[in-house]
């Protein structure tokens, strides 16, 4: 019998699609949802399942930003052949995304036992939700929002890319929350910060999904729930991306800060009263 059935896969796909790119922690919300559904959070096949359905969300990024990605890829390929093209911002940006992904890859390999062990606790998720809120709140007030996407530098990309490690080590911190907050501190405007977070998510989450695929389909989960969860994640994530970009063009991230604090406090309560098992 599959650890996750089709109905649960649909629910988890929706949760993943809604929360992957919002700065609220998809990992945290998935773990909370799995706990409420009675799914064994620490089961390796479940960990693999949650990583694989992230690929659906990444596919949504690839489709939504297809023109941008094609532009970066074209500039990169031209720069490889023609030295004169290597000063083009798009060529450099393509390499920056690659280099900025290396820190999280190294951290994932180095800290894998901790990530899959004690740091997977829902107590950590609850604390990270609130701690990440403090970072976002501070970033909103520190950032001067005076730089756009054309002003991005190698330093920006490396600092923002490295901040993904916070979400890797502390589920609940939020990958998008950490990257957007770091970008805001670097004085990028909200739209540029959010778009950079999207582009950096592509190699990081794709790699994680492919790496965990063997545990998802080779463990206690049938391939059909994995496929359905991934498709649902794609559809919902696409809508979520479109909404978020429109939202940040006119609003701050304060509402997400408040939401995260409420969810973190509620999770502490559910754990404290024994409603959820950490």
The structure tokens 């609003």 sit at: 251
Give tens-digit pLDDT for 93-103: 999 999 999 99
What is the torsional sign of CA 164, 114, 233, 62?
Answer: positive
Select from 232, 117, 95, 210 the least CA-distant residue to 161. Answer: 95
Query: What is the spatial distance between Cα 51 and Cα 154, in angstroms, rounded to a whole number?
Result: 28
Select from 94, 64, 65 the least CA-distant residue to 78. Answer: 94
**pLDDT the model gives residue 116:** 79
The structure tokens 């409603």 sit at: 275
**pLDDT the model gives residue 32:** 87
Tokens standing for 51? 């990583």
Query: What is the spatial distance between Cα 218 and Cα 227, in angstroms, rounded to a whole number?
Result: 14
Give me the residues of the chain with pLDDT under 70, please: 1, 212-220
Q: Which residues of 229-249 are buried (b: 16+ CB within 10 A; e: fewer)?
A: bbbbbbebbbebbeebbebbe
Please list the alpha-helical segments (H only) found in the chain. 6-19, 26-36, 44-64, 66-81, 89-110, 112-116, 122-142, 154-162, 164-169, 175-185, 190-218, 223-248, 254-272
Task: Tell me the sheet residues that pair with 147.
Answer: 188
DSSP single-letter state for residue 118: G
- CA 185-186-190 angle, to 5 degrees, is 75
**pLDDT the model gives residue 261:** 97
pTM score: 0.91
Using alpha carbons only, how large is the chain's radius of gyration in Å?
Answer: 18
The structure tokens 């600092």 sit at: 159
Query: What is the spatial distance between Cα 274 and Cα 74, in angstroms, rounded to a whole number?
Result: 54
């Amino acid at each position: 019998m599959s650890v996750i059935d089709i109905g649960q896969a649909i629910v988890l796909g929706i949760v993943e699609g809604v929360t992957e790119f919002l700065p609220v922690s998809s990992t945290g919300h998935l773990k909370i949802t799995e706990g409420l559904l009675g799914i064994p959070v620490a089961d390796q096949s479940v960990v693999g399942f949650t990583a694989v359905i992230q690929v659906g969300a990444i596919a949504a990024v690839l489709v939504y930003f297809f023109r941008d990605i094609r532009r970066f890829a074209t500039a990169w390929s031209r720069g490889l052949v023609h030295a004169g093209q290597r000063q083009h911002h798009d060529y450099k940006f393509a390499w920056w995304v690659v280099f900025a992904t290396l820190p999280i890859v190294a951290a994932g390999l180095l800290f894998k036992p901790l990530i899959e062990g004690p740091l997977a606790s829902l107590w950590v998720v609850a604390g990270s939700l609130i701690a990440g809120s403090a970072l976002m709140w501070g970033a909103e007030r520190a950032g001067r929002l005076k730089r756009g996407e054309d002003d991005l530098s190698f330093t920006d990309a490396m600092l923002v890319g490295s901040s993904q490690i916070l979400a890797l080590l502390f589920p609940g911190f939020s990958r998008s929350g950490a990257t957007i907050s770091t970008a805001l501190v670097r004085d990028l405007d909200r739209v540029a910060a959010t778009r950079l977070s999207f582009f950096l998510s592509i190699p990081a989450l794709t790699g994680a999904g492919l790496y965990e695929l063997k545990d998802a389909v080779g463990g206690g989960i049938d391939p059909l729930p994995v496929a359905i969860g991934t498709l649902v994640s794609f559809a919902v994530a696409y809508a979520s991306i479109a909404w978020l970009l429109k939202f940040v063009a006119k609003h701050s991230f304060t509402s997400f800060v408040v939401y995260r604090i409420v969810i973190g406090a509620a999770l502490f309560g559910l754990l404290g009263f024994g409603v959820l098992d950490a």
